[in-house]
Amino acid sequence: MVIKNVKIYTEDKEFIPGEIGVKDGKFADVAAVGTPDGDIDIIDGEGCYMIPGLVDIHFHGCVGDDFCDANEEAIANMAKYEASIGVTSICPATMTLSEEELHDIMKTAGAYRGTEGAKLVGINMEGPFISEKKKGAQAAKYIRKCDAELFRTLQEESGNLIRLVDIAPENEGALEFIREVKDEVVISIAHTVADYDAAFRALKEGASHVTHLYNAMPPLNHREPGVIGAARDDEKCHVELICDGVHIHPAVVRATFAMFGADRVILISDSMRATGLTDGQYTLGGQDVFVKGPKATLADGTIAGSATDLMGCMRVAVQKMGIPLEDAVGCATMNPAKEIGIYDRCGSITPGKDADFVLLDKELNVKAVYVNGKRQ
């Protein structure tokens, strides 16, 4: 297969007019695709943007299903939906649940062998090692201290799929946990009341990521910069942003890109099971969630995840928040792939990598999605 007449997103985070081949499910130089009789499929991109398939490293569910349902069919359904909107690699998140439920979730993910739709490339372990004071939509009764033994058991049950684990660094035992497992998983600061000093210590010990920046943490203050200030000061730290138009004001999104630089920002959806469905009442982590438009809340008004998928968030970032398309695409493809250690096989349009890509028109509408070179 050869895809022609497209603007290809490169590893330099720019678009260039050109063409590229696909052979045996991998990107390839056009010259390597041809056969002696020249019988190859030609795809006319009609001037579309050609971008890598998006990589969502933090979402909970969509189209009525949730990763925490611990059901292989649910994972398969989510994978198909995500691929349909241009997300080709998924790293869904757990919640703060009972230990028994966490074991079931990990075992289910470890057994999953789905081949349709988006690829299950990891797990984001959001909870239970968080702060009750900033629990958000997490269940307080299941919050517990950091436990390396429990983490390793869950990791083994998942088949080593856990790519990120979230902690509140101010909690007892958090720094010891970081020191013990930092070489095994990306450690993210999340659902926390940590001040600048506590967050900075955690980053120096080996944490390197912040979960949904601004949400479920103290605000940035000129005298108390908190987690946000500490993350800004550690050049190795990457931060997640939910650009659904609900979680963060557009001016703050622009300020974040200015403070951190596009290479350190990762767009996520944090979507819950209502994504892709109509307004109504749903659940997240066992709690009722009420969805109206892009906003999902608990009964008390607490924001409970997002009802927008990652492609929708990327579109909002560009069209309503003023983020350059080149930056937004990198933050939804290359950056998350690098963060969870899968950039060797996806996240860019590079010969030898999986042929996961999306064709977008000039309004950023999805025209076609391919996974391993197969149209979805």
The residues assigned a catalytic role are 270
CB 135 within 8 A of CB 166: no
* Strand bridging mode 374-375 / 366-371: antiparallel
Query: In a 10 Å sphere around its CB, with 0-12 CB exposed, 13-18 middle and 19+ buried, how is residue 330 labelled?
Result: buried
Nearest CA among 161, 357, 168, 334 for reference residue 262: 334
d(CA 283, CA 90): 21
Q: Phi first, then psi: give them for residue 270, nearest 5 degrees.
A: 55, 30
Sign (positive/negative) of CA torsion 203, 56, 3, 9? Answer: negative
**DSSP, res 271:** B
* Strand bridging mode 2-9 / 366-371: unpaired
Q: Which two tokens stand for residue 214?
A: 């601004």
**How many Å is the Cα radius of gyration of the chain?**
20
d(CA 1, CA 187): 40
